[in-house]
Structures are given as structure tokens and as C-alpha cells.
């Protein structure tokens, strides 16, 4: 684009009157939240805010103004399309989380269907060509003008960040996924987002675990196998994240500041480590089927959905040979099917 010329217009498809209303509403919500969670805290703490904060707010205001009802393919300025992607991602995740919380309190099918319909109005845009064709906007963070420590303190003060008390499995002494994993994931996503870093989740499943119980008996496996396996898992994860017990043969790993590619390398090292681990007089080695999902700045999924995707990838690894790592290519969460990423 030449200096002084108007930005190129990008088509975002034909929009119904309902689509226009949805875009206007979610852009307004995003702009107000940005003002309340970023601009106002900066002014309160520093007395001012960087010019980039005002520029971002103005872009959102301009975007809202360009979303107007009309006929035919709707077009908006090319410099605003990344902002629209960010708005859609943010609101898709926010609405899905709101629905999850409401659904947990009702069994009324009509209410649930109405909530799911609300989500679909936003989620459908994540499958659009214009959405998939480019980057998201670099939304300013408090860390652009504050230290990470000060930014985290502000998140805690406003209730956006909360680390739950540690709760351990009584039998094995490992963190319990049922009570801790989703709150921990939410907290570490917030930690990582202010650093513009991803967090990766892994779902680990011991292959053919029933064979252990059949061959050696559940009491002996609980005494001689699982404690050693969990100790090895926690030792490997220790400096890189957190390990949780999900079920008898299923475990979760939460790895802040790691991309899926980094996590695959790290977890493949754990698979290699297990080859040398013995379990007293039990002449059998553990192998793992693992599913990984990266939650970066462009991830529209809730924590619960990330866990579901990781479980789906884990099952894909088991169904395609076991003892391997599966995940999603590209942006991951937008893919329909996982792929095998590593085979020892």
C-alpha cells in the first residue's frame, strides 16, 4: 500500500443481518474488555499508557464502524482483518467457557441447545477462508509497559489469575487432574499469554495396561509399577511443567512456555528414558501413546476443549500403532484429524 493511499479491502463473504449483529457485538465486547483489562490498569499504575494501546483501541473502534449491513460480499480494510480474527478467537473462547459453566448447572436440553446455537454463531467464522488465510493481530499486553511481575500482580488483583491449592492423590502422591488440571491450565495460559508464549498439554496413556494387571495382578502393579512410573514422569517433567494423574493408566502433562514441537521432543526423550526403567522383578517395559495440543495466542478453545483434543490425539496414537506421539499440524486446533508426529 502506497503512503497516503487507502488500505486494500479484503472480502469476508456475504453476511446475514445476524452475522453483522454478531460481529458488532463481539467487537464491542472485545474493545471494552481491552480497555478495562489493559488500558485502564496502565493508566492507574503509570498515569499513562503507550501509544500502541491507543492505536489498538482505535483499530477496534474503526473495525466496528466498518461492519455495516449491506448486500453482496462484505469487505473491510486489510489492516483490520487481523483484528477481526483476534476478536473472533477471543469471543469464541469466552462464549464457549461461559456455555460450559452454564451447561454444568442445567440438564434442560432446550437451554443447552440455545446456548450451543449462540456459540455456533461465532464458531462458524473460524472455518471461513478469510479467517484461515492470515495472522491474528498483535494485541498489546500489560507487559508492554509493566514488568512481568507487576502484570501478574494486576491479574491476581482483578481475579483474572488464580492458582488453586495443591491437592495430591492419596495413594500415589501425584497431583490430581480431576481438581487441579483445568484451573492450572487456565492460570498458566494467562501467565503465558502476557509473555506471548504458548502452553502445551499432553495426554499420556500406558499401552496395554490391562496386560500388566492380568499378568502380575493389580495390587502388585499398584505397588511395584505405578509408583516408579509416576516418579520417573514427575522427575522428567519437573523443570518443564506439571504432571497429573487422570486415571489408572492415564496421565496429563502441562508444559508452559513450550510449543507442540518442543513438547514432542521433550516427551520423546521420556519415551526413550522409559526403555531403561525396570520395575523390580517384573520383566516388562512401559510404552506410551501420547496426544499433544498447543494453546497459543491463536487458540480459540477452552481448557476443557483442549483436554478433549489431547485425548482425541492420544486415541489416534493408540489406534495407529501405539508407542507414538500424535498431535495436530499447523495451528492444530483447527485441524479435523490429528497426525502421528513421532515414532520412537
Give me the helices (H) in 124-239, please: 129-132, 148-157, 177-194, 209-216, 218-220, 226-237
Q: Tens digits of per-residue pLDDT, 130-139?
A: 998 889 999 9
Nearest to 341, CA basis, from 240, 271, 245, 250: 271
The band of 330, judged by pLDDT with boundaries at 50, 70 and 90, is low
DSSP element (H, E) containing 203: strand 199-206
Average pLDDT over residues 168-184: 86
- Domain definitions of the chain by residue range: 9-157, 175-342
CATH of 175-342, one of 3.30.70.270, 3.40.50.720, 2.30.42.10, 3.20.20.210: 3.30.70.270
Is residue 332's pLDDT more than 50? no
**Rounded-to-5 percentages of helix, strand, coil across the chain:** 55, 15, 30
* CA 3/CA 318 separation, integer angstroms: 55
Residue 78 has phi, psi (to 5 degrees) of -60, -30
pLDDT value, residue 56: 96
Is residue 247's pLDDT more than 70? yes
Nearest to 294, CA basis, from 333, 334, 325, 253: 333
- Give the cell for residue 178: 480431576
Average pLDDT over residues 156-174: 79
- Tell me the pTM: 0.86
C-alpha 86, offset from chain centre: 15
Q: Tens digits of per-residue pLDDT, 205-226?
A: 999 998 888 888 888 888 888 8
* CA 236/CA 314 separation, integer angstroms: 20
Specify the higher pLDDT residue, 158 or 202.
Answer: 202
pLDDT value, residue 238: 87
Amino acid at each position: 500500500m502506497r503512503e497516503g493511499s487507502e488500505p486494500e479491502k479484503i472480502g469476508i463473504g456475504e453476511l446475514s443481518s445476524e452475522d453483522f449483529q454478531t460481529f458488532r457485538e463481539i467487537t464491542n465486547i472485545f474493545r471494552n474488555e481491552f480497555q478495562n483489562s489493559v488500558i485502564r490498569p496502565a493508566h492507574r499504575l503509570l498515569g499513562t499508557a503507550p501509544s500502541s494501546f491507543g492505536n489498538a483501541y482505535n483499530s477496534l473502534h474503526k473495525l466496528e464502524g466498518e461492519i455495516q449491513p449491506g448486500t453482496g460480499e462484505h469487505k473491510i480494510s486489510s489492516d483490520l482483518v487481523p483484528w477481526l480474527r483476534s476478536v473472533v478467537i477471543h469471543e469464541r473462547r469466552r462464549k464457549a467457557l461461559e456455555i460450559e459453566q452454564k451447561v454444568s448447572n442445567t440438564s434442560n436440553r432446550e437451554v443447552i441447545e440455545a446456548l450451543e446455537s449462540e456459540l455456533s454463531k461465532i464458531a462458524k467464522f473460524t472455518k471461513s477462508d478469510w479467517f484461515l488465510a492470515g495472522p491474528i493481530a498483535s494485541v498489546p499486553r500489560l507487559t508492554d509497559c509493566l514488568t512481568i511481575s507487576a502484570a501478574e500482580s494486576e491479574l491476581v488483583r482483578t481475579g483474572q489469575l488464580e492458582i488453586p491449592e495443591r491437592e495430591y492423590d492419596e495413594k500415589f502422591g501425584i497431583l490430581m487432574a480431576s481438581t487441579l488440571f483445568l484451573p492450572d491450565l487456565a492460570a498458566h495460559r494467562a501467565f503465558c499469554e502476557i509473555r506471548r508464549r504458548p502452553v502445551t498439554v499432553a495426554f499420556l496413556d500406558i499401552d496395554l495396561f490391562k496386560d500388566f494387571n492380568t499378568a502380575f495382578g493389580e495390587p502388585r502393579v499398584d505397588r511395584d509399577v505405578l509408583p516408579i512410573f509416576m516418579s520417573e514422569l514427575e522427575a522428567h517433567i519437573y523443570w518443564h511443567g506439571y504432571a497429573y494423574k487422570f486415571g489408572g493408566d492415564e496421565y496429563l502433562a502441562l508444559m508452559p512456555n513450550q510449543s507442540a514441537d518442543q513438547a514432542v521432543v521433550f516427551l520423546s526423550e521420556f519415551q526413550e528414558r522409559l526403555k531403561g526403567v525396570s520395575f523390580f522383578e517384573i520383566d516388562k517395559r512401559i510404552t506410551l501413546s501420547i496426544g499433544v495440543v498447543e494453546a497459543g495466542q491463536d487458540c480459540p478453545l477452552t481448557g476443557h476443549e483442549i483436554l478433549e483434543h489431547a485425548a482425541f490425539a492420544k486415541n489416534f496414537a493408540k489406534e495407529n500403532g501405539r508407542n507414538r506421539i500424535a498431535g495436530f499440524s499447523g495451528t492444530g486446533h483447527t485441524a479435523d484429524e490429528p497426525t502421528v508426529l513421532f515414532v520412537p
